[in-house]
Copies of this chain bind each other. A is one copy, B any other.
Amino acid sequence: MTLANRILTGDRRALARLITIVENQPTEAIPNLQLLYPHTGKALVIGITGPPGSGKSTLVDKLAKKLRQQKKTVGIIAVDPTSPFTGGAILGDRIRMQDLATDPGVYIRSMGTRGSLGGLAKAAHSAIEILDAAGMDYVFVETVGVGQSEVDIVGIADTTMVTLVPGLGDDIQTIKAGVLEIADIFVVNKADRPGADQVKMQLEMMLDLNTKEIKWRPPVLPTVANAGEGIADLLQGIKKHYRYLHDSGELRARRKARYKAEIMAIVEEGLRDRLLTFWAGEGKINTVVEEVIAQEKDPYTAAFELLGPFLAK
């Protein structure tokens, strides 16, 4: 029986195995991903991002528990870009989730990378598809760090939550237009701390300044995740956003953009493989690089020389 078939019958070990293959030998995962694809499209994918220490894991933890009370199944993917500043942080956080880890209706998985965030985004996308096909009603994708990862999560998620906490000082000043464009829901976590109202007010003011015509204004929802406060309202907010996505046609548009990016990534990977075969490995490239370093030719001339015979063949 294929891994895909085992996953469809609820085999958790097969699920874990396929995600590992996706991480390590993505090409070998393809036949199983192809088999699973017709069973996808049912899960709501929720991205959650925000600065380190803003309580993302705890929020996901509490949301997952609430969803379990409603008999929903939950997948959680913790994406760790192995950034020098964040590497390893997520796994530590995940210790808090041990009571969820024994729940058969919850599947938790950390995913890392060795340098290429593009590769990680692709692997995370495949993992979402696997969890979706495995029957998860909700899939949370949590990223650490302040940087490009937010942008990637937008490509992956149906709904993007951005978490903030009081006491970031000047940082709230640097939250500019960009965040308005990616956030579907703002969460002000640790809302029992001084300054929480101010963070909420500043966010609302920024949202007021947005003069673009918008169909969805991101709510700013206070939580105290540790104490479970505000979680029910947050879940309501997520469900409300889903209804908006569905009714407005935005869900379809987002998923279309996501698959377009995935297809292009597969195409480019295929081309890269073919190029390396054509050049008989890295040897040809290294020769050309030596010529560039010696300033015998410039990088453009070198690249065109490498590409020309491939295109002309």
Using a CB–CB distance below 8 Å, which chain A residues touch chain B?
30, 33-34, 37-38, 40-41, 51-53, 81-89, 115, 117-118, 145-151, 162, 169-171, 174-179, 181-183, 252, 255-256, 259-260, 262-264, 266-268, 270-272, 274-275, 285-286, 288-290, 292-293, 295, 298-304, 306-307, 311
Please report whether the interface of chain A is mostly helix, strand, loop or mixed according to DSSP: helix
Are A289 and B259 neighbours in the complex by a CB distance under 8 Å?
A: yes
Using known A-B contacts A260-B285, A293-B252, determine if residue A301 contacts B174 with beta carbons closer than 8 Å.
no
Shortest CB distance A186–B (Å) = 11
Q: How far is the CB of A230 from chain B (nearest CB, A)?
A: 22
- A179 touches which of B84, B149, B174, B252 (Cβ 8 Å): B84
Q: A30 vs B86: C-alpha distance in the bound complex, in angstroms?
A: 37
Give the residues in chain B near A307, CB-CB below 8 Å.
Answer: 267, 270-271
Can you list 19 contacts pairing A with B, beta carbon distance less than 8 Å?
A38-B295, A40-B295, A52-B170, A52-B171, A81-B147, A83-B150, A83-B151, A85-B147, A85-B175, A89-B174, A117-B148, A145-B147, A147-B147, A256-B289, A256-B293, A260-B285, A263-B289, A266-B299, A271-B307
Task: Give 7 nearest A-B pairs by CB, closest first.
Answer: A147-B147, A84-B179, A266-B303, A37-B298, A84-B178, A87-B176, A148-B148
Q: Are A86 and B295 in contact (CB under 8 A)?
A: no
What are the residues of chain B within 8 A of A84 when measuring CB–CB?
Answer: 150-151, 162, 175-176, 178-179, 181-183
The residue that A146 contacts in the complex, of B85, B177, B272, with Cβ under 8 A, is B85
Docked-complex contact A174 and B260, CB < 8 angstroms: no
C-alpha spacing A301/B117, complex, angstroms? 24
Tell me which residues across on chain B come within 8 A of A88, comparing CB atoms: 174, 176-177
Q: How far is the CA of A268 from the CA of B82 in the complex (A)?
A: 25
Nearest B residue to A172, CB-CB: B85
Of B30, B82, B274, B293, the contact of A178 (CB 8 Å cutoff): B82
User: Known contacts A274-B311, A295-B38; is A115 also within 8 Å of B151 by CB?
Assistant: yes
Interfacial chain B residues near A275, Cβ < 8 Å: 267, 271
Asked whether, in the complex, the Cβ of B293 is within 8 Å of the Cβ of A264, the reply is: no
Shortest Cβ distance from A45 into chain B, in angstroms?
A: 15
- Complex: how many Å from CA A89 to CA B118? 25
Q: Is the CB of B147 within 8 A of A149?
A: yes
